[in-house]
Amino acid sequence: MMTQIFRSLVEKIQMILLLLWVKIDLEFFDSFNDVILKIIDLIMLFAPYGVFALLATLIVEAPKWDLLKSLLLYSLTLILGLGVLILLYLIIVKTFTGKSPNFFLKGILPAQLVAFSTSSSAATLPVTMDRVHNHLGVKEEVSSFVLPIGATINMDGTALYQAIAAVFIAQTFGLDLSLGAQLGIILTATLASIGAAAVPSAGIIVLVIVLSQAGIPEAGLALIFAVDRPLDMCRTVVNITGDATVSMLVDKLIKKK
């Protein structure tokens, strides 16, 4: 009898210690995440001064009209690519859920507008969850699980941006990228986008990893920094649209089962 009581007491103590350890771990990683986000905020605060210095040199060395024309073509290429992604999402929604593109766009439009204005998937998350659940008809248990994960790891627009930006910077510096280097950019951009923080302009910081992998000078970031903010607004729209698309697919799959 005493043995059973002692064993039960030991098990309870172990359970309490385990829960305490889990709580400590969660608080540690939450605090660590806050520190990382604060560091990013500080970097973005002082980045314009450094970028101004880098960009001044590049503008002096390169013909001004050629540089502006290249930036315009880069921006148009990225916007076109993001538009193709949106079109792909609409096709997926129509094919696998039977919902019309008009129904999908009407339901998710307010979230897209918030994403465009904030450039943050995390800041848009409450609106996205509301629109997906109440206007696209996705179950709350699906939207509350899929969308927070998507806001963290589903960064299709960011991945596309990093790949296009890396190729653009390489071409600006006159670097010839082999097929292996281009495939490496695609792979690294995809993986790096998963780790990008859901805050404004975080993708440009993660882009350093992509450039380093391909042997492209990181100083080239100064070329695209001037147009990064409006493009960041556009790719955030694509990111949250992808999240909504996946949530509808998961909801449809669950309903079939």
Give me Rg for the CA atoms of the chain: 23
Q: Of 71, 81, 54, nearest to 163 (Cα)?
A: 81
81: pLDDT confidence band, cut at 50, 70 and 90? very high
The predicted-structure confidence for 153-171, as pLDDT tens digits, reads as follows: 888 888 888 888 888 888 8
Longest dimension (CA), the chain: 89
Which pLDDT tens digit goes with each residue over 202-220?
A: 667 777 778 888 788 877 7
Higher pLDDT residue, 178 or 240?
Answer: 240
Q: What is the pLDDT of residues 15-67, one digit of tens each?
A: 776 666 766 766 776 777 677 667 766 665 665 666 566 556 555 555 556 66
The answer to whether residue 254 scores a pLDDT higher than 70 is yes
Judge contact between 224 and 169, C-beta under 8 A.
yes
The band of 89, judged by pLDDT with boundaries at 50, 70 and 90, is very high
Q: Count Cβ atoms within 10 A of the Cβ of residue 170 and give its class: 0-12 exposed, 13-18 middle, 19 or more buried.
A: buried
Mean pLDDT of the chain: 79
Answer whether residue 87 shows pLDDT above 90: yes
Residue with the bigger pLDDT between 62 and 240: it is: 240
